[in-house]
Structures are given as structure tokens and as C-alpha cells.
Amino acid sequence: MNPKHTAYSILDLALVSEGQTLKQTFNDALKLAQHAETYGYKRFWLAEHHNAENIGSSATSVLVGYVAQGTKTINVGSGGIMLPNHSPLIIAEQFGTLGTLYPNRIDLGLGRAPGTDKETAEAIRSDFMQAAQAFPKEVEKIQSYFSIENEDANVRATVAEGVHVPIYILGSSTDSAHLAAKKGLPYAFASHFATTHLWDAIAIYRKEFQPSKGLEQPYVMAGVNIIIADTDEEAERLSTSLIRMIVGIFTGRRAKVQPPTDMTEELRDIMRNPQVHQMLKYSFIGSKAKVKAQVKEFLDQTNADELIAVTHLYDINDRIKSYKMFAEIMDELL
């Protein structure tokens, strides 16, 4: 049993599948969020990525608004905005506007990575490295712009002042854990792909956490890959699309999401590759019963306050079905 009543949420990349238009992709993201709302998910986050043919969430704040407009109660936000790509003032204005349009439903998750390759990062912002090193100060600027006290400053984000938009620190290393703890902010770790530092990061965050105005106790969110189907064999077949996505990351060939195929020995060998195996360490793939046992073990080990499910599948209906069964698992573990 899970006495903590662990919340469960979705991280979406607006995946672009082979044969699908961008408009269909955006419609599917909204459709998924609408289903997630009925299944009891706490939040629906979209991740900022650039120069990737298979990812449609580049203009993250715009897509956040689209999804928020088409839903009623679920929190919608960024998981995250890659802050070194942006001016803190502009992000405060964008999310302050969203927070006014959709009160108490908008989240602002902030990350330090570029969400793309080096060349594209430089095309977005020529001084990206300096901005990344200044990440803690840039977060402080965001907080100031949302503060009522900033109304006397020379530079203001007037549409953000006093608007309730919670800030979350995203991370894949221990650096982010120190920052989230120092600022007393919720901490979301990208363990769905960056598995190496999960335990150290959680330990640092909990040990160093300093209560803040918005958060009295540490709040840990952990990402996990989830693929659930009626049988283990069907889930394994669906996972072949994910495996090919991972291959694309390592080879630099990020094609649109491919339809699933039967599992082959070649694909199994890829899964056994040390780098791939490490990257997908917290990937729970199988029938509902199999995944339930894996999720319970992960929760027992991490004591996470919230799980963020990431389901990279070719077909939106398979994604919706998998998320439905994951919600049932989480409800059963309460």
C-alpha cells in the first residue's frame, strides 16, 4: 500500500508520429490532457525541445495555453521551460498572462538545459552558456517579476505581479537538487532518461531543503517511462517505437515516431546496450499487473511525492489506454 497518496501526472512532448500532421499532433495533445483530467491526473506538463522532427512542443507556452483552454480542472504547465533560452521577463509575462486566464491551474517548471543540440542552442541564444551558468539568478528574476513587491521596480512584468503560478525546479543532476533545496521549491527529477544521479539528487534535496513561503516540506517528483497494454507481449511490441526513438537520439537522426513492430533480436540487443539500458532503467513496460509491481517498488525506494509518467507511443489511442491503466494502478496503490 502507498500511504502517502502519491499524486500522478503526465509529461508530454507532443510527439509527431509518422504520417501525422502537426495540427493532428496538437489536437492529440489536447485529447490526451482531456482524458487525463477524467482519469485523476494532477497535472499535464509539456517539455520544451527544439530542432527535433518528432517533437512538437517547441513553442511551449503557446501549447500550454491551448491545452489549458481545452481543459477545466487539471493543472497545465511546462516541464519545463529551458530558462537559458529565454529572457526571464518574457517568461514571467507569458506565464503571468496564462495564470490570469486560467487561475490556479498554471505551473512553471524551469530547467537549465538547452533542450536541443549545441548548434541550435547557439541559434536560439548566442550567450547560452553564460545564461546557463546564471540559472540560479535567472530563477530569482522570475520570482521577483511575480512578486507584488516588484511593483516599485524600474523593470516590471506587470501582468505577472501577484499572479499565482507555482515554480518548480527541474533537473537531471545534483546541481539542480542544491538549488531547489536552497530556494524551498518543488523538485522534479528527470529519471525517465537521466537515471544516474537520481538517488544522490533526492538525498541532497531532502537533506538541504529550506522551507519557503510556498513550501514547508520537500516535494519530490520523479519521471518514469510507462507503457502498459493488455499483455506483456503487446506492451513489448508497442515499446519498439520508443526503442527506435532512443536509437535516433544516440545517432542524431530524430525521425518522426515510427509505428510499432514485432520485437526482434536486434532490438533486444539495443535494449541490452549499457548506455540504453541505463537510460531506460526506470521504464516500466508490460501488463497492468507487471507494471503495478514495478511502480510499487519504485515508490517504496524513492518515497516520491509525485510520479510523472512519460509514454512515448506511436498511436494516441495506445497512449490514452496506457495512461488510463497507469491511473488505475496509482489509485489502487493509494
Query: pLDDT digit string (tens) for 193-212?
Result: 999 999 999 999 999 999 99
Query: pLDDT digit string (tens) for 245-282?
Result: 998 888 877 789 999 999 999 999 998 999 999 999 99
pLDDT at position 124 is 85
- Identify which of 79, 74, 86 has the alpha carbon closest to the alpha carbon of residue 57: 79
Residues with Cβ within 8 Å of residue 326, at least 6 apart in sequence:
8, 226, 228, 291, 295, 309, 311
Query: pLDDT digit string (tens) for 41-61?
Result: 999 999 999 999 999 999 999
pLDDT at position 2 is 42
Q: Rounded to whole angstroms, how far apart are CA atoms 279 and 246? A: 9
Q: Rounded to whole angstroms, how far apart are CA atoms 119 and 80? A: 20
Query: pLDDT digit string (tens) for 143-171?
Result: 999 999 999 999 999 999 999 999 999 99
Instruction: Output the pTM of the full model.
Output: 0.95
Q: Is the pLDDT of residue 192 over 60?
A: yes
Amino acid at 234: E
In angstroms, how far is the first alpha carbon of the chain from the final one? Answer: 6
Query: pLDDT digit string (tens) for 241-250?
Result: 999 999 888 8
pLDDT at position 4 is 61
Q: How many CB atoms lie within 10 A of CB 12?
A: 26
The domains of the chain, with CATH numbers, are: 7-332 (3.20.20.30)
pLDDT at position 120 is 87
Q: How many CB atoms lie within 10 A of CB 250?
A: 12
DSSP state string for 30-83:
HHHHHHHHHHT-SEEEE----S-TTB--SSHHHHHHHHHHT-SSSEEEEEEEEG
> pLDDT above 70 covers what percent of the chain?
99
